[in-house]
Amino acid sequence: TERKKFHTAPVGQVFRLRPFHVLVATGGGYAGYRKYEDYKVEQLEKRGIEVPVKLASEWEVALYKSVPTRLLSRAWGRLNQVELPTWLRKPVYSLYIWTFGVNMKEAAVEDLHHYRNLSEFFRRKLKPQARPVCGVHSVISPSDGKILNFGQVKNCEVEQVKGVTYSLESFLGPRIPTEELHFRQAPAGHSFQQQLVTKEGNELYHCVIYLAPGDYHCFHSPTDWTVSHRRHFPGSLMSVNPGVARWIKELFCHNERVVLTGDWKHGFFSLTAVGATNVGSIRIYFDQDLHTNSPSYSKGSYNDYSFISNNNKEGIPMRKGEHLGEFNLGSTIVLIFEAPKDFKFNLKAGQKIRFGEALGSL
């Protein structure tokens, strides 16, 4: 007699799903499945078992792209900037250090209470002596990371990992005007790759370095060169870990990236910072106009900015080892440059490398 009355809504209203929710749930579940598959591949590789390349189909790529990684990355960025209470800093950062194997003995400030938020911790600086810059070799590693691939560029295709390629022109975008880079005009009819090679007898080379979450997140100038131009491609923010790079063809062309181009003593030189999930923020120290992971963008668009002006005829000079920029978490650096045919890499695919160590030389 004193029971309360309960009012129930029709089942259709309770379980009403919108298309966006279905896409997020499906895409998120599939992304989780892919993470598990990547883990299995890594375990097989550790045991020395070669895993055949299996590329994603168009629908799989579309499904992965349905996950709102740009929105999630912006949310993660805001979360990283929230100031943590002093008592909470050590437990949070210690968990991160344990999970990703961070070596805090190299950090300029080892006291975990010094870092007010996760963003400051991710962008921690190193002690000056922690990364000596190799003075013998002409090109050094611009960052800590893992070597995914390196070698000569062939047939206008670049390998992101062994057996999986992407288009050189899609990655860099249309060729920058010759007068901006002080290069000679390439003869008509030459391929995009041939147009980038400015000196007879030179070849085009590439090197891909993957930065894991536990790595040092700043990147530096890999050689003495002059930066003349910046091209920013808004895009997806899919994971760029080796497993996904092996699965999605032209992954680096899908993702947001900042391409810096210029010249060094042997001709054309470029460094590209590729964004990834939770790495919507790419910062270039001398470029205050650059804003990455904007809420609105046009698919396939890009923004150009020239460092050549009436007051600066040369561009931005960079010395080998000089601070160049930073990621907010970890991502990928791609170097594409021309050099004489006797240029040799001092690397092995899959090896770990640290900023300042030699990549190659003549």
**What do you get for the CA distance between the two ends of the chain, in Å?**
93
Closest CA to 347 of 357, 337, 338, 332: 357
> Could you tell me the two tokens for 136?
């013998």
CA atoms within 13 A on the CB side of 199: 16
> 27 with 64: CB under 8 angstroms?
yes
Question: How many of the other CB atoms lie within 10 Å of CB of 173?
Answer: 16
- Give the angle subtended at the CA of 90 by the CAs of 86 and 93, to the nearest 5°: 120
> Could you tell me the two tokens for 214?
């536990």
User: In the annotation, is 144 catalytic?
Assistant: yes
Choose, from 220, 229, 254, 266, the residue flagged as catalytic: 220
> 241 with 203: CB under 8 angstroms?
no
Which three-class secondary structure state does DSSP give residue 208?
strand
Cα gap 137→207, rounded to integer Å: 15
Cα gap 352→117, rounded to integer Å: 28
DSSP-derived pairing of the beta strands 332-340 and 225-233: unpaired
Q: Dump the DSSP string for 164-198.
A: EEEEHHHHH-SPPPHHHHTPPPPPTT--HHHHH--
Cα gap 204→186, rounded to integer Å: 15
- Looking up tokens 């999970």 gives 99
Cα gap 22→139, rounded to integer Å: 48
Choose, from 38, 73, 138, 144, the residue flagged as catalytic: 144
> Could you tell me the two tokens for 346?
């001092």
Q: Which residues are designated catalytic?
A: 144, 220, 331
